[in-house]
Amino acid sequence: MNLKDYKTRFNCRLCNSSNLISVLKLESTPPANAFVTKEECIKEQEKYPLKLFFCNNCNHVQLTDVVDPSELFSNYVYVSGTSPVFVNHFKNYAKTIIKDYSPDLNKYVLDIGSNDGTLLKFFKKMGYKVIGVDPAEEISKKANEDGIFTLNGFFDLEMAEKIKDKYSNASLITANNVFAHCDDLSGITDAVSKLLTPEGLFVFEVSYLVDVYQKTLFDTIYHEHLSYHSVTPLIKFFENKGMTLIDVLKMNTHGGSIRCVIKNTSNAEVKKSVENFVNLEKSLAFHESNTFIKFSNKIEERKKELCDLLKKIKADKKSIAGFGAPAKATTLMYEFGLNNDILDFIVDDSPLKQGLFSPGLNIPVFSSSQIETLKPDYLLILAWNFADSIIKNNQKFIESGGKFIIPLPKLEVI
């Protein structure tokens, strides 16, 4: 293990308590997006522990082994503007925030982890000045070329102070799929609070632990996702920062997410939605570590079902390929033992991944046009949250006798 790109913390990311209980231990994996070239396959990839902890004090669920973010995000290949689903999501996002909260037009909107500027484009269209911040160099460059002013780097107190000196305060700061990715949540929140006006809003979206738990989305557990947020621990966290969690909305993105709205002042008026989420979490016993310890039994059941099926297919001398190579496939493949004895290859529609090999297990990734050439008997859908559209778009495969396997949330063969 290379110690320079990996560290372990011993206190809770939200409340600092060291009263952490280990609740789930998944197989160690390389970074989930670390696809390699043929030449790089010779060298064994670094693997990092993937262990989930529960904070007995504030009930926050989190990873404590932190892989150096520059290892994970500097060459990030994900570009939000390439997915029409997300473009539409961000369009509605901007519209809803403006309609519900009308942030001060004389100030500006800042997006942390702005990627290619997809969200900010919509705020800009509505007349707002916008600033993006993103650690990925190539993507930041592209955003600037597209007219979205973007600073390349990690958002922290130092950067917030520089931005404040130059551009004064923001009326709105957004952060989507960032609040789960950041180790220093306290630092980033201090920086947000410093930069916002007192009336200003911080809005972020993250995957919701209730969905992870209820739908057994354990494959969303990978090193980029350090936190598995529920609403209850966040209330106290923001309260301690002199801020108020005023509203929570349920979103369908990433298998189930929440949008949290935080006002940069204490004792602000709180909407009923917050209480509803707290009650839901209570009803699921999210305040007990045992709830998450039992979660591992559910994963074991899914694993056994799938492995029994795959063994049978292999005994019949049939071939299996994977469909989709999202980051979460890495956790799924390691946890369920889907190595190159099981999967001959993976197809993925992203040209950025085609021609490369899957992290650690080195399974080749091809374009989906290879399905017709290589004719696997079964396609195991690794990007199973897109199963419906994958099956719809690949009717030819079914017509020629091929079968799809959907591994989660419920094992299905189609």
Site for Zn ion in 272-301 (CB under 5 A): none
Q: How far is the CB of 55 from Zn ion (least distance, A)?
A: 3
Q: Give the binding range for Zn ion (CB under 5 A) out of 37-45, 53-61, 260-268, 379-387.
A: 53-61
Q: Give the binding range for Zn ion (CB under 5 A) out of 50-58, 178-186, 252-260, 306-314.
A: 50-58
d(CA 374, CA 128): 51
Q: Which long-range contacts (CB under 8 A, 24 or more apart) does 139-148 make?
A: 139/76, 139/79, 139/115, 142/79, 142/116, 143/114, 143/115, 143/116, 143/117, 146/116, 146/117, 146/121, 148/114, 148/116, 148/117, 148/120, 148/121, 148/124
> Which x/- pattern, by CB under 5 A, does the window 9-28 give for Zn ion?
---x-xx-x-----------
The residue count for binding Zn ion (CB under 5 A) is: 8
Angular region, 324: left φ>0, alpha ψ -120 to 50, beta rest: left
275's CB contacts (< 8 A; 6+ apart) are none
**How do 244-251 and 257-263 pair as beta strands?**
antiparallel
Identify whether the C-beta of residue 210 lies closer than 8 Å to the C-beta of residue 178. Answer: no
Q: Is 186 in the site for Zn ion (CB under 5 A)?
A: no
d(CA 58, CA 287): 8
14 or 383: CB nearest Zn ion: 14
14 or 188: CB nearest Zn ion: 14
Q: How far is the CB of 16 from Zn ion (least distance, A)?
A: 7
Q: Is 209 in the site for Zn ion (CB under 5 A)?
A: no
57 or 152: CB nearest Zn ion: 57
**Helix, strand, or coil here: 158?**
helix
Q: Give the binding range for Zn ion (CB under 5 A) out of 60-68, 263-271, 377-385, 386-394.
A: 60-68
Transcribe 195-261 into DSSP letters.
Answer: HEEEEEEEEEEEE-HHHHHHTT-GGG-STT--EE--HHHHHHHHHHTT-EEEEEEEE-GGGSEEEEE
60 or 328: CB nearest Zn ion: 60
Q: Is 229 in the site for Zn ion (CB under 5 A)?
A: no
233 or 360: CB nearest Zn ion: 233
**Helix, strand, or coil here: 379?**
strand
Q: How far is the CB of 20 from Zn ion (least distance, A)?
A: 8
57 or 273: CB nearest Zn ion: 57
**How do 170-176 and 108-112 pair as beta strands?**
parallel
Overall size of the chain counted in residues? 414
d(CA 79, CA 74): 13
Q: Is 112 in the site for Zn ion (CB under 5 A)?
A: no
Q: Give the binding range for Zn ion (CB under 5 A) out of 59-67, 130-138, 328-336, 398-406.
A: 59-67
Residue from 11, 57, 82, 370 binding Zn ion (CB under 5 A): 57
Q: How far is the CB of 275 from Zn ion (least distance, A)?
A: 21
11 or 367: CB nearest Zn ion: 11
60 or 254: CB nearest Zn ion: 60
Q: Is 55 in the site for Zn ion (CB under 5 A)?
A: yes
Q: Which residue has the tokens 């952060």?
A: 175
Q: Is 60 in the site for Zn ion (CB under 5 A)?
A: yes
**Helix, strand, or coil here: 404?**
strand
**How do 20-29 and 48-55 pair as beta strands?**
antiparallel
Per-residue DSSP letter, 42: G
193 or 232: CB nearest Zn ion: 232
12 or 94: CB nearest Zn ion: 12
Q: How far is the CB of 50 from Zn ion (least distance, A)?
A: 20
20 or 380: CB nearest Zn ion: 20
Q: How far is the CB of 80 from Zn ion (least distance, A)?
A: 30
Q: Give the binding range for Zn ion (CB under 5 A) out of 54-62, 113-121, 250-258, 307-315.
A: 54-62
209's CB contacts (< 8 A; 6+ apart) are 61, 228, 229, 230, 286
Q: Give the binding range for Zn ion (CB under 5 A) out of 48-56, 116-124, 153-161, 397-405.
A: 48-56
- The enclosing H or E element of 323 equals strand 320-323
Q: Is 58 in the site for Zn ion (CB under 5 A)?
A: yes
Q: Which residue has the tokens 């130092």?
A: 158
* Contacts to Zn ion by CB under 5 A: 12, 14-15, 17, 55, 57-58, 60
